[in-house]
Structure 1
Amino acid sequence: MFVSEIFRSLQGEGKNQGRPCTFIRLAGCNLRCAWCDTSYAQEGGRNMSVGEVLDRVWLQNGKHICITGGEPLLQHDEVLELLKKLSLHGYSVEIETNGTRDFREMQPYASICMDVKCPSSGARSDLRLLAHITPRDSVKFVVADEDDLLYARAVMNRCEIRGEVFISPVEGTDRRAIAEQIVKENLPVRFQVQLHKILGIK
């Protein structure tokens, strides 16, 4: 599998925000989002076997893993093999995905965080996948402006989402205005800023 990096940090977003975590960032992505903050992982990476990845993970402390990218589900078979082995060793795993690849085979072994792409990103997620989100999973909308927030509201009105929903502002946008609009409309979401960027860590 093609790996961009493996590192230890705090989870900066999602349901496990603030928890120590080992990140497995896979290389390769099928989207080119306008505000991507990991463009270095869109291609390239080091070719590693699942066993080599496991060896690197075992050298880290802790049992919480986040598999991210790029888009990790482009490497479906290798990720599934990795998940099964991590599960056998008692790891808790979450996968961050852009919502363009079916994640159902992964759900017995990991929670899913589906990043639904808003208009400002210039990309689209497959909204049909929202039907497969479970209460242990989550959905994230990264929003840059009111149009993105309107889009997120429309998606939530149209699609039943059984997992927790997060609204995260694009870095450098008017976070306060987005937060105020969420309060005004009483949206059923949790507003969340990216903790790792506030702290200046990876």
Structure 2
Amino acid sequence: MLGNVHEIYHSVSGEGISQGIPTIFIRFAGCSLRCGKTENKKLWCDTPYALGPNQGNSMDLDSIIKEVETIDPFGTSQILLTGGEPLEGKNGEMSSLICKYIFQTRIHTNKPYPAPRIETNGKETITDETDRVYTMDYKLPGSGMEERMEKENFSVLRKRHNILDEIKFVVRDRYDFERSLEVLREFSPDTNILYSPVFGEMDANELVEWIKKENPPKARLSLQIHKVLWGNKKGV
């Protein structure tokens, strides 16, 4: 079994409830979504360099784990699987193998962060397995990708009832925000809700005011601290 890996590196988690935690990123290559590229609007993906399936290298589980353990020999960093899209095609199978290996290794040694976090785009099906946690995007109308969302994932998240799971809304404008409220009313998720402004387009201060006024359950603003620290660079 091989996965298509673009890069593996050590940094801190930039978003969500794990923000600031030392983290090893395993970034897979390949994603079938093209978020934000609508009419005269530009692509907003943070990682366009990893969107194509040929923008990575084929790696087996042993090679991935060896690189992870070289970076973090004590096994105390969070493991985060991202992309591209870590659940698309063969990358999904490799992500499952990584989660099982890390979880089984750490759960018996009382090491922190036994369940790797998977950042997924909302199109791919998630599972209720306990060896992983999810940050799941729900693509709003401004992305042009909402019709690709897998709505059944909301039922899976409710069944999982994992206090570390997250749903992320990336907001381009007021219409996106209103749509997010409709989604929350329709599916009534009981997990953490993240709101992020489209970088360079949406005013974060304005988004804060909307969140304060509407105050959706378990919602919070999530800014990308890696961009604050290092700018819009890769591998940080």
TM-score range, shorter chain: over 0.9
Structure 1: unaligned runs, 5 residues or longer: none
* Contact map agreement 2:115 2:130 (CA 8 A) in 1: no
**CA positional deviation for 1:63:** 3.1
TM-score (normalizing by structure 1): 0.95
Q: Which residue of 2 aligns with 1:99?
A: 122
Partner Cα distance (1:187, 1:89) in 2: 37
The yes-or-no answer on 1:171 pairing with 2:199 is: yes
Residue in structure 1 matched with residue 110 of structure 2 by the alignment = none
CA contact (8 A) 1:135 1:164 kept: no
Deviation at 1:160, TM superposition (A): 1.9
Structure 1 residue corresponding to 2:62, chosen from 51, 61, 78: 51
Amino acid in the other structure paired with 1:76: G
SS of structure 2 residue aligned to 1:127: coil
| Residue in 1 that maps onto 2:46 | 37
2:162 to 125, 130, 135: 135
Structure 2 distance, partners of 1:79, 1:92, is: 12
Cα distance in 2 between the residues matched to 1:82 and 1:186: 36
Q: 2:209 aligns to what SS in structure 1?
A: helix
Find the counterpart in structure 2 of residue 11 from structure 1: 13
Q: Quote the offset at 1:127 in angstroms.
A: 2.1
Give the aligned partner of residue 211 of structure 2. Answer: 182
Structure 1 distance, partners of 2:15, 2:184, is 20
Contact 2:22–2:77 (8 Å) recurs in 1:
no
Q: Where do 4+ consecutive residues of structure 1 move more than 3 Å?
A: none
- Determine the C-alpha separation between the residues in 1 that align with 2:188 and 2:92: 26
Report the Cα distance in structure 1 between the residues aligned to 2:137 and 2:215, rounded to whole angstroms.
Answer: 21
State the 1:89 CA deviation: 1.6
Partner Cα separation in structure 2 for residue 4 and residue 78 of structure 1:
13
CA contact (8 A) 2:99 2:115 kept: no
Over the matched positions of the two proteins, sequence identity in percent amounts to 35
- 2:109 corresponds to: none
State the match for 1:109 in structure 2: 131
SS state of the match for residue 161, structure 1? coil
Q: Does 1:70 align with 2:84?
A: yes
In 2, distance between residues paired with 1:9 and 1:92? Answer: 18
Q: Where does the alignment leave 5 or more consecutive residues of structure 2 unmatched? A: 37-43, 107-113
Residues paired across the two proteins, number = 201
Letter in 2 for 1:102: T
The Cα shift of 1:84 comes to 1.1
